[in-house]
Structure 1
Amino acid sequence: MAEKQPHLNGAYYGPSVPPPSRSYHSQGHDGGCGCCGCLLKLIGGVVVVVGLAVLIFWLVFRPNRIKFQVTDASLTQFNFTTTTNMLYYNLALDVTIRNPNKKIGIYYDRIEANAFYEDQRFGTDALTPFYQGHKNTTVLTPVFKGQQFALLGANELSVLNSEKNLGVFDIHVKLNLRVRFKLGKVKTWRMKPKINCDLKVPLSSNGISVVGFETTKCDIGF
Protein backbone atom coordinates (compact mmCIF):
# COMPACT_ATOMS: atom_id res chain seq x y z
CA MET A 1 0.00 0.00 0.00
CA ALA A 2 1.53 3.29 -1.10
CA GLU A 3 2.22 5.97 1.46
CA LYS A 4 0.15 9.10 1.25
CA GLN A 5 2.24 12.22 0.75
CA PRO A 6 1.47 15.08 3.10
CA HIS A 7 -0.17 18.19 1.66
CA LEU A 8 2.47 20.88 0.87
CA ASN A 9 0.09 23.84 0.42
CA GLY A 10 1.68 24.72 -2.94
CA ALA A 11 5.12 25.50 -1.44
CA TYR A 12 8.34 24.59 -3.26
CA TYR A 13 11.36 23.59 -1.25
CA GLY A 14 13.81 22.74 -3.99
CA PRO A 15 16.95 24.72 -5.00
CA SER A 16 16.45 28.47 -5.68
CA VAL A 17 15.91 29.51 -9.28
CA PRO A 18 18.40 32.25 -10.38
CA PRO A 19 16.84 35.43 -11.74
CA PRO A 20 17.13 36.05 -15.48
CA SER A 21 20.36 37.69 -16.47
CA ARG A 22 20.35 41.31 -17.60
CA SER A 23 22.69 42.81 -20.17
CA TYR A 24 24.04 46.31 -19.53
CA HIS A 25 25.50 48.70 -22.10
CA SER A 26 27.64 51.69 -21.24
CA GLN A 27 25.99 54.82 -22.49
CA GLY A 28 27.85 56.75 -25.17
CA HIS A 29 30.07 53.85 -26.27
CA ASP A 30 27.71 51.79 -28.39
CA GLY A 31 29.14 50.90 -31.77
CA GLY A 32 32.20 53.12 -31.34
CA CYS A 33 35.57 53.46 -29.66
CA GLY A 34 36.71 55.42 -26.64
CA CYS A 35 38.17 58.91 -26.97
CA CYS A 36 41.68 57.67 -26.20
CA GLY A 37 41.46 54.91 -28.77
CA CYS A 38 40.23 57.28 -31.48
CA LEU A 39 42.99 59.78 -30.66
CA LEU A 40 45.68 57.09 -30.84
CA LYS A 41 44.36 55.90 -34.19
CA LEU A 42 44.32 59.46 -35.49
CA ILE A 43 47.91 60.11 -34.35
CA GLY A 44 49.03 56.81 -35.86
CA GLY A 45 47.39 57.71 -39.18
CA VAL A 46 49.04 61.13 -39.23
CA VAL A 47 52.47 59.62 -38.51
CA VAL A 48 52.06 57.11 -41.34
CA VAL A 49 50.95 59.81 -43.80
CA VAL A 50 53.83 62.12 -42.85
CA GLY A 51 56.32 59.25 -43.10
CA LEU A 52 55.09 58.30 -46.56
CA ALA A 53 55.21 61.96 -47.67
CA VAL A 54 58.82 62.30 -46.49
CA LEU A 55 59.78 59.05 -48.22
CA ILE A 56 58.13 60.09 -51.50
CA PHE A 57 59.74 63.53 -51.28
CA TRP A 58 63.18 61.99 -50.83
CA LEU A 59 62.70 59.43 -53.61
CA VAL A 60 61.45 62.05 -56.10
CA PHE A 61 63.64 65.05 -55.35
CA ARG A 62 66.71 63.55 -53.63
CA PRO A 63 67.46 66.89 -51.85
CA ASN A 64 71.06 67.92 -51.23
CA ARG A 65 72.13 70.10 -48.32
CA ILE A 66 72.38 73.83 -48.99
CA LYS A 67 75.97 75.02 -48.57
CA PHE A 68 76.98 78.23 -46.79
CA GLN A 69 80.51 79.53 -46.67
CA VAL A 70 82.29 82.83 -46.14
CA THR A 71 84.56 83.31 -49.15
CA ASP A 72 86.02 86.71 -48.26
CA ALA A 73 86.26 89.04 -45.27
CA SER A 74 87.65 92.56 -44.95
CA LEU A 75 88.30 93.99 -41.48
CA THR A 76 89.68 97.54 -41.65
CA GLN A 77 88.92 98.63 -38.07
CA PHE A 78 88.64 96.77 -34.80
CA ASN A 79 89.61 98.91 -31.81
CA PHE A 80 88.41 98.86 -28.21
CA THR A 81 88.65 101.91 -25.93
CA THR A 82 88.81 100.98 -22.24
CA THR A 83 87.88 104.46 -21.00
CA THR A 84 84.48 104.39 -22.72
CA ASN A 85 84.08 100.61 -23.25
CA MET A 86 83.36 101.26 -26.91
CA LEU A 87 84.28 98.89 -29.73
CA TYR A 88 84.86 100.51 -33.13
CA TYR A 89 84.58 98.15 -36.09
CA ASN A 90 84.34 97.93 -39.86
CA LEU A 91 83.79 94.44 -41.23
CA ALA A 92 82.56 93.38 -44.68
CA LEU A 93 81.87 89.78 -45.72
CA ASP A 94 81.10 87.75 -48.82
CA VAL A 95 78.79 84.89 -47.86
CA THR A 96 78.26 82.35 -50.66
CA ILE A 97 75.09 80.24 -50.69
CA ARG A 98 74.97 77.26 -53.03
CA ASN A 99 71.71 75.47 -53.89
CA PRO A 100 72.84 72.22 -55.59
CA ASN A 101 69.31 70.83 -56.10
CA LYS A 102 67.83 70.37 -59.58
CA LYS A 103 64.16 70.53 -58.57
CA ILE A 104 64.08 72.62 -55.40
CA GLY A 105 64.02 76.42 -55.17
CA ILE A 106 64.37 78.43 -51.96
CA TYR A 107 62.60 81.56 -50.77
CA TYR A 108 64.71 83.51 -48.26
CA ASP A 109 61.95 85.56 -46.63
CA ARG A 110 64.15 86.92 -43.85
CA ILE A 111 67.92 87.23 -43.57
CA GLU A 112 69.56 88.79 -40.52
CA ALA A 113 73.33 88.70 -40.08
CA ASN A 114 74.83 89.19 -36.60
CA ALA A 115 78.51 89.54 -35.69
CA PHE A 116 79.88 88.53 -32.26
CA TYR A 117 83.17 88.95 -30.47
CA GLU A 118 83.81 87.07 -27.20
CA ASP A 119 80.10 86.09 -27.11
CA GLN A 120 78.98 89.73 -27.34
CA ARG A 121 77.08 90.96 -30.38
CA PHE A 122 78.54 94.10 -31.86
CA GLY A 123 76.83 94.40 -35.27
CA THR A 124 73.63 93.51 -37.14
CA ASP A 125 72.73 93.78 -40.81
CA ALA A 126 69.30 92.98 -42.29
CA LEU A 127 69.67 91.78 -45.88
CA THR A 128 67.20 91.93 -48.77
CA PRO A 129 64.96 88.83 -49.15
CA PHE A 130 65.30 86.89 -52.41
CA TYR A 131 64.46 83.69 -54.27
CA GLN A 132 67.22 81.23 -55.16
CA GLY A 133 66.59 78.98 -58.14
CA HIS A 134 67.77 75.47 -58.98
CA LYS A 135 71.53 74.79 -59.01
CA ASN A 136 72.22 78.43 -58.23
CA THR A 137 74.96 80.25 -56.34
CA THR A 138 74.18 83.54 -54.59
CA VAL A 139 76.61 85.87 -52.78
CA LEU A 140 75.44 87.96 -49.83
CA THR A 141 77.48 90.98 -48.70
CA PRO A 142 76.68 91.87 -45.08
CA VAL A 143 78.51 94.91 -43.70
CA PHE A 144 79.06 95.71 -40.02
CA LYS A 145 80.29 99.24 -39.41
CA GLY A 146 80.01 101.55 -36.42
CA GLN A 147 80.57 101.47 -32.69
CA GLN A 148 79.08 99.39 -29.90
CA PHE A 149 79.28 99.45 -26.12
CA ALA A 150 80.93 96.26 -24.84
CA LEU A 151 81.84 94.89 -21.44
CA LEU A 152 85.19 93.14 -21.75
CA GLY A 153 86.73 91.74 -18.59
CA ALA A 154 90.39 91.05 -17.93
CA ASN A 155 90.34 87.71 -19.78
CA GLU A 156 88.56 89.19 -22.82
CA LEU A 157 90.96 92.13 -22.95
CA SER A 158 93.91 89.73 -22.79
CA VAL A 159 92.50 87.78 -25.74
CA LEU A 160 91.85 91.01 -27.65
CA ASN A 161 95.41 92.28 -27.16
CA SER A 162 96.87 88.90 -28.12
CA GLU A 163 94.82 88.77 -31.34
CA LYS A 164 95.67 92.40 -32.08
CA ASN A 165 99.39 91.55 -31.90
CA LEU A 166 98.83 88.60 -34.25
CA GLY A 167 96.72 90.71 -36.58
CA VAL A 168 93.90 88.10 -36.72
CA PHE A 169 90.61 88.20 -34.77
CA ASP A 170 88.24 85.34 -33.93
CA ILE A 171 84.82 86.63 -34.97
CA HIS A 172 81.60 84.63 -34.93
CA VAL A 173 78.91 85.41 -37.51
CA LYS A 174 75.39 84.03 -37.27
CA LEU A 175 72.70 84.18 -39.97
CA ASN A 176 69.11 83.95 -38.75
CA LEU A 177 66.93 82.85 -41.67
CA ARG A 178 63.29 82.29 -42.45
CA VAL A 179 63.03 80.14 -45.57
CA ARG A 180 60.51 78.19 -47.67
CA PHE A 181 61.25 75.50 -50.23
CA LYS A 182 59.52 75.36 -53.61
CA LEU A 183 58.89 71.94 -55.17
CA GLY A 184 57.32 72.54 -58.55
CA LYS A 185 54.26 74.62 -57.71
CA VAL A 186 54.17 73.51 -54.09
CA LYS A 187 55.69 75.66 -51.34
CA THR A 188 56.56 74.29 -47.92
CA TRP A 189 55.92 75.95 -44.58
CA ARG A 190 58.47 78.44 -43.22
CA MET A 191 61.55 77.09 -41.49
CA LYS A 192 64.05 78.93 -39.29
CA PRO A 193 67.55 77.54 -39.78
CA LYS A 194 70.53 79.18 -38.07
CA ILE A 195 73.85 79.45 -39.88
CA ASN A 196 76.97 79.63 -37.70
CA CYS A 197 80.33 80.75 -39.07
CA ASP A 198 83.46 80.79 -36.90
CA LEU A 199 85.90 83.09 -38.67
CA LYS A 200 89.52 84.08 -38.30
CA VAL A 201 89.58 87.53 -39.86
CA PRO A 202 92.86 89.35 -40.51
CA LEU A 203 93.01 93.07 -39.80
CA SER A 204 93.96 94.98 -42.91
CA SER A 205 95.54 98.42 -43.20
CA ASN A 206 94.94 100.42 -46.40
CA GLY A 207 93.24 97.34 -47.84
CA ILE A 208 96.31 95.15 -47.24
CA SER A 209 96.61 92.43 -44.58
CA VAL A 210 99.67 90.47 -43.51
CA VAL A 211 97.79 87.17 -43.81
CA GLY A 212 94.97 86.39 -46.19
CA PHE A 213 91.48 85.25 -45.29
CA GLU A 214 90.75 81.56 -45.86
CA THR A 215 87.35 80.44 -47.13
CA THR A 216 85.38 79.07 -44.17
CA LYS A 217 82.44 76.66 -44.24
CA CYS A 218 79.48 77.40 -42.00
CA ASP A 219 77.38 75.00 -39.93
CA ILE A 220 73.61 74.72 -40.40
CA GLY A 221 71.27 74.12 -37.47
CA PHE A 222 67.48 74.04 -37.03
Structure 2
Amino acid sequence: MSKEKHHKREHHLRRCCGGMAACILALVLVVGFIALVVYLALRPSKPSFYLQDLQLRSVDLGDPSLSATAQVTLASRNPNDHVGVHYRRLDVFVTYRDEPVTVPVSLPPTYQGHRDVTIWSPVLSGESVPVAGFVADALRQDVAAGYVALQVKVDGRVKWKVGSWVSGSYHLFVSCPAMLASAGPGGVGPMPLGGASAAVVNGTGAGAVASLRFTQPTGCSVEV
Protein backbone atom coordinates (compact mmCIF):
# COMPACT_ATOMS: atom_id res chain seq x y z
CA MET A 1 0.00 0.00 0.00
CA SER A 2 2.82 2.39 0.86
CA LYS A 3 4.38 1.85 -2.56
CA GLU A 4 1.08 2.59 -4.31
CA LYS A 5 0.66 5.80 -2.29
CA HIS A 6 4.23 6.80 -3.14
CA HIS A 7 3.66 6.23 -6.86
CA LYS A 8 0.37 8.14 -6.75
CA ARG A 9 2.07 11.04 -5.00
CA GLU A 10 4.86 11.13 -7.61
CA HIS A 11 2.32 10.97 -10.42
CA HIS A 12 0.30 13.80 -8.87
CA LEU A 13 3.46 15.89 -8.39
CA ARG A 14 4.51 15.36 -12.00
CA ARG A 15 1.07 16.39 -13.23
CA CYS A 16 1.20 19.56 -11.12
CA CYS A 17 4.69 20.46 -12.37
CA GLY A 18 3.68 19.75 -15.95
CA GLY A 19 0.57 21.88 -15.57
CA MET A 20 2.54 24.78 -14.11
CA ALA A 21 5.12 24.58 -16.91
CA ALA A 22 2.35 24.55 -19.51
CA CYS A 23 0.72 27.61 -17.90
CA ILE A 24 4.02 29.51 -17.83
CA LEU A 25 4.72 28.62 -21.46
CA ALA A 26 1.22 29.67 -22.48
CA LEU A 27 1.63 32.98 -20.63
CA VAL A 28 4.95 33.67 -22.36
CA LEU A 29 3.43 32.89 -25.75
CA VAL A 30 0.44 35.16 -25.08
CA VAL A 31 2.66 38.05 -23.96
CA GLY A 32 4.92 37.56 -26.98
CA PHE A 33 1.93 37.45 -29.32
CA ILE A 34 0.48 40.64 -27.82
CA ALA A 35 3.86 42.38 -28.14
CA LEU A 36 4.12 41.26 -31.76
CA VAL A 37 0.61 42.53 -32.54
CA VAL A 38 1.39 45.89 -30.91
CA TYR A 39 4.69 46.11 -32.79
CA LEU A 40 3.06 45.36 -36.14
CA ALA A 41 0.16 47.72 -35.44
CA LEU A 42 2.46 50.63 -34.58
CA ARG A 43 4.85 49.92 -37.48
CA PRO A 44 7.89 51.84 -36.24
CA SER A 45 9.50 54.05 -38.86
CA LYS A 46 13.27 54.22 -39.11
CA PRO A 47 14.89 57.37 -37.68
CA SER A 48 15.90 60.26 -39.93
CA PHE A 49 19.49 61.52 -40.00
CA TYR A 50 20.80 64.90 -41.19
CA LEU A 51 24.36 66.14 -41.60
CA GLN A 52 24.32 69.72 -40.33
CA ASP A 53 28.02 70.56 -40.61
CA LEU A 54 31.42 69.13 -41.43
CA GLN A 55 34.63 70.97 -40.61
CA LEU A 56 37.67 69.46 -42.28
CA ARG A 57 40.46 70.75 -40.07
CA SER A 58 43.50 69.16 -41.69
CA VAL A 59 44.58 66.62 -44.26
CA ASP A 60 48.11 65.27 -44.52
CA LEU A 61 48.71 63.25 -47.66
CA GLY A 62 51.60 60.85 -47.35
CA ASP A 63 52.59 57.92 -49.50
CA PRO A 64 50.72 55.59 -49.24
CA SER A 65 48.84 56.88 -46.19
CA LEU A 66 46.59 59.76 -45.20
CA SER A 67 46.04 61.62 -41.93
CA ALA A 68 42.92 63.73 -41.43
CA THR A 69 40.98 65.51 -38.70
CA ALA A 70 37.35 66.57 -39.01
CA GLN A 71 34.43 67.53 -36.81
CA VAL A 72 30.91 66.63 -37.86
CA THR A 73 27.55 67.75 -36.53
CA LEU A 74 24.99 65.02 -37.01
CA ALA A 75 21.31 65.16 -36.07
CA SER A 76 18.83 62.31 -35.70
CA ARG A 77 15.05 62.52 -35.37
CA ASN A 78 12.64 59.82 -34.20
CA PRO A 79 9.51 60.23 -36.39
CA ASN A 80 7.37 57.81 -34.34
CA ASP A 81 4.52 58.90 -32.07
CA HIS A 82 4.50 55.82 -29.82
CA VAL A 83 7.84 54.08 -30.39
CA GLY A 84 11.15 54.98 -28.76
CA VAL A 85 14.57 54.22 -30.23
CA HIS A 86 17.50 52.77 -28.29
CA TYR A 87 20.80 53.51 -30.04
CA ARG A 88 22.86 50.69 -28.56
CA ARG A 89 25.98 51.33 -30.66
CA LEU A 90 26.89 54.09 -33.13
CA ASP A 91 30.28 54.24 -34.87
CA VAL A 92 30.91 57.36 -37.00
CA PHE A 93 33.64 57.75 -39.62
CA VAL A 94 34.42 59.68 -42.82
CA THR A 95 35.17 58.18 -46.22
CA TYR A 96 36.48 59.55 -49.51
CA ARG A 97 35.74 57.53 -52.64
CA ASP A 98 34.66 54.63 -50.41
CA GLU A 99 38.02 54.66 -48.60
CA PRO A 100 37.95 55.41 -44.83
CA VAL A 101 39.99 58.52 -44.01
CA THR A 102 39.23 58.54 -40.26
CA VAL A 103 38.94 55.75 -37.74
CA PRO A 104 35.45 55.01 -36.32
CA VAL A 105 34.47 56.97 -33.21
CA SER A 106 31.88 55.38 -30.91
CA LEU A 107 29.05 57.61 -29.69
CA PRO A 108 27.55 56.96 -26.23
CA PRO A 109 24.42 54.76 -26.10
CA THR A 110 21.35 56.98 -26.36
CA TYR A 111 17.60 56.61 -25.90
CA GLN A 112 15.47 58.75 -28.20
CA GLY A 113 11.87 59.34 -27.15
CA HIS A 114 8.84 59.95 -29.35
CA ARG A 115 9.47 62.73 -31.88
CA ASP A 116 12.75 63.60 -30.14
CA VAL A 117 15.82 65.05 -31.87
CA THR A 118 19.38 64.14 -30.86
CA ILE A 119 22.51 66.01 -31.99
CA TRP A 120 26.10 64.75 -31.86
CA SER A 121 29.30 66.68 -32.70
CA PRO A 122 32.19 64.20 -32.54
CA VAL A 123 35.75 64.98 -33.62
CA LEU A 124 36.99 62.35 -36.06
CA SER A 125 40.61 61.70 -36.90
CA GLY A 126 42.84 59.20 -38.60
CA GLU A 127 46.61 58.96 -38.31
CA SER A 128 48.50 57.39 -41.22
CA VAL A 129 45.42 55.63 -42.57
CA PRO A 130 46.46 53.39 -45.51
CA VAL A 131 44.88 54.45 -48.81
CA ALA A 132 45.43 53.52 -52.43
CA GLY A 133 47.76 55.80 -54.37
CA PHE A 134 45.04 56.86 -56.80
CA VAL A 135 42.85 57.95 -53.87
CA ALA A 136 45.53 60.32 -52.54
CA ASP A 137 46.11 61.67 -56.06
CA ALA A 138 42.38 62.21 -56.58
CA LEU A 139 42.09 64.09 -53.27
CA ARG A 140 44.97 66.40 -54.23
CA GLN A 141 43.28 67.11 -57.55
CA ASP A 142 39.89 67.75 -55.93
CA VAL A 143 41.38 70.17 -53.40
CA ALA A 144 43.22 71.99 -56.18
CA ALA A 145 39.95 72.22 -58.12
CA GLY A 146 38.14 73.55 -55.04
CA TYR A 147 35.59 70.75 -54.60
CA VAL A 148 35.84 67.74 -52.27
CA ALA A 149 33.02 65.19 -51.90
CA LEU A 150 33.11 63.18 -48.67
CA GLN A 151 30.75 60.74 -46.98
CA VAL A 152 29.97 60.66 -43.27
CA LYS A 153 28.88 57.15 -42.32
CA VAL A 154 27.33 55.63 -39.21
CA ASP A 155 27.33 51.92 -38.44
CA GLY A 156 25.45 50.72 -35.38
CA ARG A 157 22.70 48.74 -33.66
CA VAL A 158 19.25 49.95 -32.58
CA LYS A 159 16.28 48.61 -30.61
CA TRP A 160 12.63 49.71 -30.65
CA LYS A 161 10.80 50.40 -27.38
CA VAL A 162 7.00 50.26 -27.03
CA GLY A 163 5.90 50.83 -23.45
CA SER A 164 7.92 48.37 -21.37
CA TRP A 165 8.57 46.06 -24.33
CA VAL A 166 11.96 46.30 -26.07
CA SER A 167 12.62 44.61 -29.41
CA GLY A 168 15.67 42.70 -30.49
CA SER A 169 18.71 44.46 -31.93
CA TYR A 170 18.69 45.67 -35.55
CA HIS A 171 21.59 46.77 -37.73
CA LEU A 172 21.64 50.49 -38.59
CA PHE A 173 23.65 51.98 -41.44
CA VAL A 174 23.63 55.69 -42.33
CA SER A 175 25.38 57.46 -45.20
CA CYS A 176 25.52 61.27 -45.47
CA PRO A 177 26.99 63.09 -48.50
CA ALA A 178 29.15 66.10 -47.65
CA MET A 179 30.28 68.55 -50.32
CA LEU A 180 33.05 70.99 -49.46
CA ALA A 181 33.93 73.88 -51.77
CA SER A 182 36.77 76.37 -51.83
CA ALA A 183 36.01 79.79 -50.39
CA GLY A 184 39.40 81.26 -51.30
CA PRO A 185 40.49 83.25 -54.36
CA GLY A 186 39.08 81.68 -57.47
CA GLY A 187 36.69 79.58 -55.40
CA VAL A 188 32.96 79.76 -55.09
CA GLY A 189 33.00 82.40 -52.36
CA PRO A 190 31.30 82.33 -48.97
CA MET A 191 28.36 80.00 -48.59
CA PRO A 192 25.27 81.08 -46.64
CA LEU A 193 24.96 77.70 -44.88
CA GLY A 194 27.44 75.53 -43.03
CA GLY A 195 30.65 76.32 -41.19
CA ALA A 196 34.03 77.33 -42.54
CA SER A 197 37.09 75.17 -42.06
CA ALA A 198 40.72 75.39 -43.11
CA ALA A 199 42.28 72.27 -44.56
CA VAL A 200 46.04 72.01 -44.83
CA VAL A 201 47.01 69.62 -47.59
CA ASN A 202 50.58 68.34 -47.48
CA GLY A 203 52.47 65.57 -49.17
CA THR A 204 54.47 64.90 -52.29
CA GLY A 205 53.50 67.30 -55.06
CA ALA A 206 51.09 69.28 -52.88
CA GLY A 207 51.88 72.04 -50.43
CA ALA A 208 48.78 74.11 -50.87
CA VAL A 209 46.63 75.54 -48.12
CA ALA A 210 42.99 75.48 -49.17
CA SER A 211 40.05 77.04 -47.38
CA LEU A 212 37.13 74.64 -47.70
CA ARG A 213 33.56 75.27 -46.62
CA PHE A 214 30.73 72.82 -46.05
CA THR A 215 28.16 73.93 -48.62
CA GLN A 216 24.83 73.02 -47.01
CA PRO A 217 23.10 70.60 -44.60
CA THR A 218 22.07 67.36 -46.26
CA GLY A 219 19.74 64.47 -45.58
CA CYS A 220 21.18 61.00 -45.12
CA SER A 221 20.18 57.59 -46.40
CA VAL A 222 19.19 55.24 -43.56
CA GLU A 223 19.01 51.45 -43.64
CA VAL A 224 17.61 49.37 -40.77
- TM-score using structure 2 length: 0.65
Amino acid at match of 2:106: A
Q: CA deviation at 1:186?
A: 0.8
How many residue pairs are counted as aligned between the two chains?
Answer: 169
Query: Alpha-carbon deviations, 1:28-53, whole Å to 9, x = none?
Result: xxxxxxxxxxxxxxxxxxxxx98x97
- Are residues 102 and 151 of structure 1, via their aligned partners in 2, closer, same or farther at CA, if it must alter by over 3 Å? closer
Q: CA deviation at 1:103?
A: 0.8
SS where residue 39 of structure 2 aligns? Answer: helix
Amino acid at match of 2:50: Q
Return 5+ residue gaps in structure 2 as ranges.
Answer: 1-31, 183-196, 200-209
Aligned to 1:200: 179
The 5 A counterparts of 1:60-99 are 61-82=42-63, 85-99=64-78
SS where residue 170 of structure 2 aligns? Answer: coil
Taking the aligned partners of 2:131 and 2:215, their CA distance within structure 1 comes to 27
Q: CA deviation at 1:172?
A: 2.0
Aligned to 1:180: 159
- Are residues 215 and 196 of structure 1, via their aligned partners in 2, closer, same or farther at CA, if it must alter by over 3 Å? same
Aligned to 1:217: 219
1:118 pairs with 2:97: yes
Q: Check conservation: 1:74, 1:202, Cα contact below 8 A.
A: no
Aligned to 1:135: 115
Bigger Rg, structure 1 or 2 = 1
Q: Check conservation: 1:69, 1:218, Cα contact below 8 A.
A: yes
Q: CA deviation at 1:145?
A: 2.2
- TM-score using structure 1 length: 0.66
1:150 pairs with 2:115: no
Q: CA deviation at 1:114?
A: 2.2
SS where residue 171 of structure 2 aligns? Answer: coil
Amino acid at match of 2:44: P
Taking the aligned partners of 2:112 and 2:137, their CA distance within structure 1 comes to 43
1:164 pairs with 2:143: yes
Q: Check conservation: 2:180, 2:213, Cα contact below 8 A.
A: no
Q: CA deviation at 1:58?
A: 4.4
Q: CA deviation at 1:194?
A: 1.0
Q: CA deviation at 1:113?
A: 1.0
Q: CA deviation at 1:167?
A: 3.2
Taking the aligned partners of 1:78 and 1:156, their CA distance within structure 2 comes to 13
Taking the aligned partners of 2:71 and 2:94, their CA distance within structure 1 comes to 11
Q: Check conservation: 1:73, 1:213, Cα contact below 8 A.
A: no
Q: Check conservation: 1:72, 1:94, Cα contact below 8 A.
A: yes
SS where residue 140 of structure 2 aligns? Answer: helix
Q: CA deviation at 1:54?
A: 6.3
SS where residue 74 of structure 1 aligns? Answer: strand
Q: Check conservation: 1:122, 1:148, Cα contact below 8 A.
A: no
Taking the aligned partners of 2:101 and 2:173, their CA distance within structure 1 comes to 18
Amino acid at match of 1:136: D
Taking the aligned partners of 2:211 and 2:131, their CA distance within structure 1 comes to 28
Query: Alpha-carbon deviations, 1:51-109, whole Å to 9, x = none?
Result: x97675344x2533310111111112123123xx3312111001100012111111111
**Root-mean-square deviation (CA), in Å?**
2.8
Q: Check conservation: 1:71, 1:95, Cα contact below 8 A.
A: yes
- Are residues 180 and 152 of structure 1, via their aligned partners in 2, closer, same or farther at CA, if it must alter by over 3 Å? same
More helix by percentage:
2
SS where residue 165 of structure 1 aligns? Answer: helix
Q: Check conservation: 1:115, 1:172, Cα contact below 8 A.
A: yes
Q: CA deviation at 1:220?
A: 1.4
